[in-house]
């Protein structure tokens, strides 16, 4: 199964073949789960929109169309309509997809990297190192998440770098707890004892021998964290402490127009639907991966 496990304590066999062969194996495995394929399809759709945004719209996300002022409903010129400033909603969605699909993965990648280092160290060394790391994680997790975001961003200012930094700090303890739990179980297996007897460096044992066998839950958790981070970016934009204008931001689109929902509901509902669809895509992918793991 893709989420490698061991039998009777024996070291797992690492799959061979090239990158394309592994990619085909991964797609074939995902095809066993309908949820995973639907989720992957949604994610791929938004990725393609982000990549080909200049080809999919003839408008700049910040350009104002004077002819659309006061007439924001969908039309032949603006097939999703315009916002209250006459900016094309589809253009802002397409370029906003670039923003969210850049900031969220980088932030989650930082959290995963930090969580792996902390969780592996805690689970492998145990003792006082485990106690210190666990307590530090508990301290971060004890704060209301949204309040922590607001305090840090209000102090440091809103920027893509600051959002990535604060998401990394807040999300890393969640990843660390998942990795620590797997590491505590894996470190007792025979092939780990054999690696230690060979005199392998602890970093080698943790990252080469242990981490590949903890990647199943880690991949699922990463998909979930991507969804949560997209919600976070949208919420921060809605609160006015997200990405600064004129950066296209789905949460900012809702913030700018939610007061006009009674008159022009599409201005807010369309970016809300975009956020929801992408979050659902990552959640479905995570559910599908978990189904595959449970079945295999």
Q: How confident is the model over 190-210, as pLDDT tens digits?
A: 888 888 888 888 888 888 888
- Retrieve residue 105's tokens: 């993965």
Tell me the CATH number of domain 34-53+83-295, given options 1.10.10.10, 1.10.3720.10, 1.20.20.10, 2.130.10.10.
1.10.3720.10
82 DSSP β-pair partners: 88
Other C-beta atoms lying within 10 Å of the C-beta of residue 277 = 13
Distance in angstroms (rounded) separating the CA atoms of residues 36 and 27? 10
Q: Do 59 and 91 touch, CB atoms closer than 8 A?
A: yes
Mean pLDDT of the chain: 84
Distance in angstroms (rounded) separating the CA atoms of residues 84 and 178? 45
DSSP alpha helix (H) spans, the chain: 19-30, 34-51, 53-56, 89-125, 127-142, 145-156, 160-186, 190-197, 202-204, 215-239, 250-257, 266-295
61 Cβ contact partners less than 8 Å away, ≥ 6 residues apart: 87, 88, 91, 92, 94, 95, 96, 246, 248
Domain ranges of the chain: 34-53+83-295
pTM above 0.85, yes or no: no
- How sure is the predictor about 136, in pLDDT bands with cuts at 50, 70 and 90? very high
In this prediction, residues 15-30 reach a mean pLDDT of 66
- Retrieve residue 7's tokens: 């039998």
Q: Do 86 and 143 touch, CB atoms closer than 8 A?
A: no
Residue 97 has pLDDT above 90, yes or no: yes
42-65 pLDDT tens trace: 999 999 999 999 999 888 888 888
């Amino acid at each position: 199964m893709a989420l490698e496990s061991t039998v009777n304590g024996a070291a797992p066999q690492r799959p061979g073949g090239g990158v394309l062969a592994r990619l085909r194996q991964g797609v074939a495995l995902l095809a066993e789960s309908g949820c995973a394929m639907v989720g992957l399809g949604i994610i791929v759709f938004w990725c393609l929109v982000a990549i080909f945004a200049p080809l999919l719209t003839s408008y700049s996300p910040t350009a104002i169309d004077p002819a659309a002022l006061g007439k924001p409903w969908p039309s032949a010129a603006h097939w999703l309509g315009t916002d209250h400033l006459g900016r094309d909603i589809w253009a802002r969605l397409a370029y906003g997809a670039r923003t969210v699909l850049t900031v969220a993965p980088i932030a989650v990648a930082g959290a995963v990297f930090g969580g792996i280092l902390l969780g592996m160290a805690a689970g492998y060394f145990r003792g006082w190192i485990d106690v210190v790391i666990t307590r530090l994680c508990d301290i971060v997790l004890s704060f209301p998440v949204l309040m922590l975001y607001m305090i840090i961003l209000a102090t440091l200012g809103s920027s893509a770098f600051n959002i990535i930094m604060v998401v990394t700090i807040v999300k890393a303890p969640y990843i660390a707890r998942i990795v620590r739990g797997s590491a505590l179980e894996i470190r007792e297996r025979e092939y780990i004892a054999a690696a230690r007897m060979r005199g392998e460096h602890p970093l080698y044992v943790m990252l080469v021998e242990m981490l590949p066998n903890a990647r199943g839950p880690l991949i699922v958790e990463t998909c979930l964290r991507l969804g949560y981070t997209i919600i976070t970016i949208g919420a921060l934009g809605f609160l006015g402490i997200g990405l600064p204008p004129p950066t296209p931001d789905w949460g900012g689109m809702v913030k700018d127009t939610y007061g006009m929902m009674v008159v022009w509901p599409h201005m807010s509902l369309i970016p809300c639907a975009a956020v929801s669809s992408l979050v659902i895509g990552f959640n479905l992918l995570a559910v599908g991966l978990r189904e595959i793991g449970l079945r295999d």
